[in-house]
Chains A and B, each alone.
Chain A
């Protein structure tokens, strides 16, 4: 049964450095929340606390109204997941690794083969994990998370480091888990298309603070168009377009994006940029992606919109 999650004023302090500050959000049972934000934004810190690996400096986490801390082991019956890349004993086989976890949790022995079959590792169950590829370890991590038939599944960048084929396998696996088990899912990812595809809610983190938490469609304007320029120098182009009244922001790799509407005439804007000494390499018009909306959101330094 899906578990509802409530985080209330969570703070994590490492010595004098805050890793997470005053984070509050709720995740309704059965929904999927995607955590996004730059490296070091606090996503993994939050997941470590949600999984009982790291103790919050203050604040509380409730699973179906039951506080996770101070004794996570008592509340984790319906919670599965991994944080950082899932690691296993390399000298044990996949089946032995899962059997150990199953025995420690006093689960029925047949459960191990069920989950190995579910993640398509049944043919490799007798192989030592030391010889597994990164993608197989990720799937084994999901299998370990599914051992308890979790009502809450917490995944830290499950697609991290996968090649395109394995990436698609992982997407399909997560979609299948949502369909078959309908757990609440909290996952972090840098692949924003996946967050858009797999999650119905999004939480945006930046420098240890939660900047937005709500429906994916609620971040920025999902219906607006934008124009992407690849230009040199970027600072001059940003300044120039802003002086012309555009809402414009940098999106990395030498590119800038501007919110667009039909009242503008793209040709004359480009002429104006070139006249100002700016080199335009490419121009592209498209619907605003989640990536672009997120970057604009972070650049705008919005206040918490919850």
Chain B
């Protein structure tokens, strides 16, 4: 299986879109630092984050909170949705099957790559924002909105936990997109379905009568990354979110095991 991961990695890194997506996330981190600098003049935002404005640690925190619902799922969703459908569309999936390679090995290899990409995407965003914040504002201990004073090391803990939780959510997004991809022959249709599902789930809260159902879906647990912003860290909401993620991961794997859509 690791041979599959190695070649999948090599295949993806040969394509400009892989580096383009990571570059876009890195630029986004810098843009968040710029946007954070502009908050100083905005009275309404200062009322919320008045105590913390001007601290570089808050750049990655804001970047993760604001990107976890839409932007990161878009990137991981697109990459995951292309993994099998892209091979089918190109015709290389057939060559792999005719070589007698087990499609399960291929699928697992693609999942590991996709999970790696999800983690990498979160890391690139968080690190870019952290470095930008450090350069722009410097790093120091500060009081978080709950009023607790947090040291620089404590802030680093918070950022690391937020990044880990966000990455876990993105792995679930990628697993769902990979499942969609396995059923599709065309990349565009797989991306549309995967991203469409994510958009629909995130819009559920705004739809009358359906808003109450949002809590049953994994996407509504992305925002719990904001609950990390307490010190000491309150693990309960995060663990609840991770449990939901685990349930959905199990469902997605059960679906692929049940349908095995690898051959016509």
The chain A residues found within 8 Å of chain B, CB to CB, are: 48, 51-55, 72-73, 75-77, 79-89, 91-92, 96, 100-101, 103-105, 141, 144-145, 147-148, 154
A84: B residues at CB distance < 8 A: 91, 94
Q: Which residue of B lies closest to A81 (CB)?
A: B98
B97: A residues at CB distance < 8 A: 51-53, 72
**Quick one: which of B11, B14, B94, B101 contacts A82, CB cutoff 8 A?**
B94
Please state if A87 and B96 are interface contacts (CB–CB under 8 Å): no
**Nearest CB on B from A143, distance (A):** 11
**Nearest CB on A from B47, distance (A):** 51
Complex A-B: 15 CB contacts under 8 Å: A52-B97, A53-B264, A72-B100, A80-B98, A82-B98, A84-B91, A87-B90, A89-B90, A91-B14, A92-B11, A103-B3, A104-B99, A105-B99, A141-B95, A154-B98
Contact with A along B81-105 (1 / 0, CB 8 A): 0000000001110111111111101
A76 to B105, CA, bound (A): 15
Q: Which residue of A lies closest to B102 (CB)?
A: A73
Q: How large is the interface on B (under 10, 10 to 19, 20 to 34, 35 or more residues)?
A: 20 to 34
Please state if B100 and A52 are interface contacts (CB–CB under 8 Å): yes
The chain B residues found within 8 Å of chain A, CB to CB, are: 3-4, 7, 10-11, 14-15, 90-92, 94-103, 105, 263-264
Q: Which residue of B lies closest to A101 (CB)?
A: B99
A80 to B92, CA, bound (A): 15
A154: B residues at CB distance < 8 A: 98
A88: B residues at CB distance < 8 A: 92, 95
Please state if A101 and B14 are interface contacts (CB–CB under 8 Å): no
A91: B residues at CB distance < 8 A: 11, 14-15
A92 to B7, CA, bound (A): 11
**Quick one: which of B3, B7, B100, B264 contacts A73, CB cutoff 8 A?**
B100
> A48-B264, A55-B264, A92-B11 are known contacts. Are A77 and B95 too (CB-CB below 8 A)?
no
**Nearest CB on A from B187, distance (A):** 14
Q: Which residue of B lies closest to A96 (CB)?
A: B10
Please state if B11 and A89 are interface contacts (CB–CB under 8 Å): yes
Please state if A144 and B95 are interface contacts (CB–CB under 8 Å): yes
Q: Which residue of B lies closest to A52 (CB)?
A: B97
Please state if B263 and A53 are interface contacts (CB–CB under 8 Å): yes
**Nearest CB on A from B96, distance (A):** 7
**Quick one: which of B11, B15, B100 contacts A79, CB cutoff 8 A?**
B100
- Known A81-B98, A144-B95; 10 more pairs at CB < 8 Å: A51-B98, A54-B263, A54-B264, A72-B97, A82-B94, A84-B91, A87-B90, A88-B95, A89-B11, A145-B98
Closest CB pairs A-B (n = 10): A76-B100, A87-B91, A54-B264, A73-B102, A91-B14, A51-B98, A100-B7, A104-B101, A53-B97, A103-B3
A79: B residues at CB distance < 8 A: 98, 100
Please state if B7 and A87 are interface contacts (CB–CB under 8 Å): no
A55: B residues at CB distance < 8 A: 263-264
Please state if A104 and B91 are interface contacts (CB–CB under 8 Å): no
B10: A residues at CB distance < 8 A: 96
